[in-house]
Amino acid sequence: MKRFIFIIFSVILLCCHGEAANILGLFPITVRSHHMVYEPYLKRLAERGHNMTVASFFPVKDPPANIHGISLQGIDETRFEQINLNALESKSSLYNIPMLERVVKCIFTQETFSASNARICERLVDFQPFIDALKGEYDLVLTEHFLGDCALALYRLYGGKAPILAVATGARMPWTMERIGAVDNPSYVPIVTSTFKSEMSFMERMENTLLSICLNEWFTRQITMKEKKILETRFGNIPDLNELARNASMIFLNTFHVLNGAMPLVPGLIEVGGMHLSLDKKPVPQVGIIFLHKSTYPHKSVLHLLRQRKEYCKYLHTFPK
């Protein structure tokens, strides 16, 4: 009987035992809206006792003692968004071709990312606080899955061997599925930059497929090849950056299939839609009246918040009886 009790207590103690991990976060992205997604996740890990070392353009506000921030501010200009809207006003003759118009505009608006990504990579190579952090011992590395793998490549080049967890702040990128071994079929899975739904016409499928091919080619030439050239000036011949990125153990997608549509997944590709949302509940204002008003599109609705009773009365006659 004593032996049985000893075994029970031993099992209970083992279940309660836990160890904090040393986690490195690599987020060299200058877009504020992206940081707003993974910052709550970083804080949550710190609250659970993990030791965090985070390199970012947006240091965590009021960090706890176990978050060591490495500020990348000054390396490049930060902004809330980074899309080149001037490209939409271009007079290119390609804009006169119906299907190519949207494809070309999509590519042209990404050029700002390409230039910024190359500048950041060039400066990270010589940024000593960042390099010193890469040389530490870690149990896990968190990085953003968006554009560029320069920071991840530097971690591997300096001997880092910890498993990689990539975090996508939105929907999958055109190069996501191939990196994790999932099926990418543009015939029914819309590209993130498109306006299509999963049910596409033949012409929409053609455009979606063309957009997928063009964006993957753009990523290879404007992001991967430029980063590889920058790194090889310091380290000599290095492995293909896509091969390094394929070593990621898992990718988190900030999506939810009800909102973003269904797509084929693998165990290493996990939807974590809403990871940026606060757990604090905020009550709806008592003076507010919420209703759904039909839009011109049958599959969409518009959410209105009316703070005055007279506004409610004004729209009351629009409700179906």
pLDDT for 83: 58
In this prediction, residue 53 carries a pLDDT of 92
Side by side, the strands of the sheet bearing 164-168 are: 67-71, 51-56, 22-27, 140-144, 164-168, 250-253, 269-271
3-state secondary structure of 320: coil
DSSP 136-202: S--SEEEEE-SS--HHHHHHHHTT----EEEEESSSPPTTHHHHHT----TTTS--TTS---SS--H
Q: Please tell me the predicted confidence (pLDDT) of residue 148.
A: 85
Residue 91 is predicted with a pLDDT of 60
E-strand ranges in 31-161 read 51-56, 67-71, 140-144
pLDDT tens per residue across span 46-100:
888 899 999 999 888 778 888 898 999 888 877 655 555 555 555 666 556 666 6
CATH no. of 20-271? 3.40.50
Whether pLDDT at 316 is above 50: no
Question: Is pLDDT above 70 for 167?
Answer: yes
Provide the pLDDT confidence category of residue 145 given band limits of 50, 70 and 90. confident
What confidence tens digit (pLDDT) does each residue in 192-205 have?
A: 777 788 788 888 88
The confidence score (pLDDT) of residue 74 equals 85
Angle between helices 150-157 and 111-124 (to 10 degrees): 20
What residue segments make up the domains of the chain, in order of their start? Answer: 20-271, 283-321
Residues whose CB falls within 8 Å of the CB of residue 216, separated by 6 or more in sequence, listed in order: 174, 175
Q: pLDDT over 70 for what percent of the chain?
A: 75
242-290 pLDDT, tens digit each: 888 888 889 998 888 888 788 888 898 888 888 777 777 776 555 444 4
Arithmetic mean of pLDDT over the chain: 78
What would the DSSP string read from start to end of 233-298?
A: HHHSS---HHHHHTT-SEEEE---HHHH------TTEEE-TTTTS-S---PPPTT-EEEEEE-SST
With 60 as the cut, is the pLDDT of residue 131 above it?
A: yes
What's the token pair of residue 136?
């530490």
